[in-house]
Structure 1
């Protein structure tokens, strides 16, 4: 019996020594690499940009008939801020546009132009990662220039009024090509309202028009 006990103790000693030697051997596994975390894109932040497009619309001339439709080039810049809450994005934007929106009546007696306008609007949309669909609306202002070249010849009466009681509504889509560069397409309807012609009190003229424009912004 004593012989068997001594044999068992010796075997256990050999197993323990083998385990210790195996623990001292270098590991064949490579170094542990921590996973790289790529943060999700966020629409939150300030941005500035430029835009260009085409506009078309109407002349609202109280007391004048047969005034043609407006149309022409529109281009300018925008500045704004977005804030993302989950999948929803809210923000505000202001833009200022140069325009070549002109019209005239069929007899050449009346010309109406809008040469510049601007808007201050709220924006709200839904983001799908780097893709954003949004609606927008707010205040609009701009100039309405009226002249009567055919009626008074070289002594044509001119009126250039700034309209401040208008509104703008629309919507668009944007895509973030990088974390900073954002492109998009936008539609907007702008109504500058009617205002008395300076040289002919009691006669009102205004413009309303649609704009489709491409836009490119840089987000900080």
Structure 2
């Protein structure tokens, strides 16, 4: 019995190394791969294109004063040409004041580029600044005619035409929004500037011919403001794609401010008119940026 027990112990001792060789040792798992979140912090530059338009607005005012000759004793002889002041022997008989606004639809394509900088905070809010510049084809034109009445009497008529074009424009804006990793939704606003070219002509006439006419054009760089919103998506770590809406108000300029006076038959007529141009438009655009 003792011999049997010793034999079993010896057999176990011989088998133990073999069993240990067949057992697998624990292996340490590789560390997990951590993909860093995308950051919007950095400078960027890019290009864009889009379509815009709204209405050019033309506020206007006009007046016409009709003076009749009133003789006290002997009347002075009537001049055949207009004079700088109303003659002493004429008194105001009728007066017309007219004001209002006509609107002109505008539309056109534009394209250009932008450059800016973003900074992303730890809570995913992003603040930035951007400036852009666009060559523009936003334009519109209108023409028409009408009759001129004084005291329900038809004195004559008028023909007019007007048109405006935004030749180029740009903005300097702040951007503020929230980032969901590679998606950035933002609002934006700031200053706007642009070159607006306008032209107009007017002709006032009666049955004897033209009373006065004028043709004017103006081209000025105007400053205003803009506001809008957009969304941007990071395609890669360096390339992003965006779409953006902006409303742009470039203020107003005076297109026409003139008048004339002179004899019409036995009456003396003083007429004048002023026309301003107010430039506003909406834009929608798409663009691509390279970020570094």
Taking structure 1 as the reference length, the TM-score comes to 0.80
1:163 and 2:163 matched: no
State the 1:203 CA deviation: 4.0
1:76 and 2:112 matched: yes
Q: Which residue of 2 aligns with 1:105?
A: 142
Equivalent residue for 1:49, pick from 46, 51, 60: 46
Superposed, 1:1-220 pairs within 5 Å as: 28-29=25-26, 32-63=29-60, 66-85=102-121, 86-107=123-144, 109-148=161-200, 156-164=215-223, 166-197=224-255, 200=257, 203-220=275-292
Gaps of 5+ in 1: 1-6
Task: Indicate if the aligned counterparts of 1:94 and 1:121 stay in contact, CA closer than 8 A.
Answer: yes
1:148-194 deviation per Cα after TM superposition (whole angstroms, max 9, x unaligned):
3686xxx9532101102x00000011111111111111110000001
| Structure in which a larger fraction of residues adopt helix | 1
1:98-127 deviation per Cα after TM superposition (whole angstroms, max 9, x unaligned):
110111113371111111000000000011
Task: Indicate if the aligned counterparts of 2:57 and 2:104 stay in contact, CA closer than 8 A.
Answer: no
Task: Indicate if the aligned counterparts of 1:101 and 1:113 stay in contact, CA closer than 8 A.
Answer: yes
| Structure in which a larger fraction of residues adopt strand | 2
Gaps of 5+ in 2: 1-5, 62-100, 145-159, 204-213, 259-273
Taking structure 2 as the reference length, the TM-score comes to 0.61
Task: Indicate if the aligned counterparts of 1:100 and 1:113 stay in contact, CA closer than 8 A.
Answer: yes
Number of aligned positions between the proteins: 206
Q: 1:66 to 1:60 in 2, by over 3 A?
A: closer
RMSD after superposition: 3.1
Task: Indicate if the aligned counterparts of 1:67 and 1:106 stay in contact, CA closer than 8 A.
Answer: no
- Mean Cα deviation higher: 18-27 or 47-56: 18-27
Task: Indicate if the aligned counterparts of 2:126 and 2:177 stay in contact, CA closer than 8 A.
Answer: yes
Task: Indicate if the aligned counterparts of 1:67 and 1:103 stay in contact, CA closer than 8 A.
Answer: no
State the 1:27 CA deviation: 6.0
Higher Rg: 2
Q: Where do 4+ consecutive residues of structure 1 move more than 3 Å?
A: 18-32, 64-67, 199-203
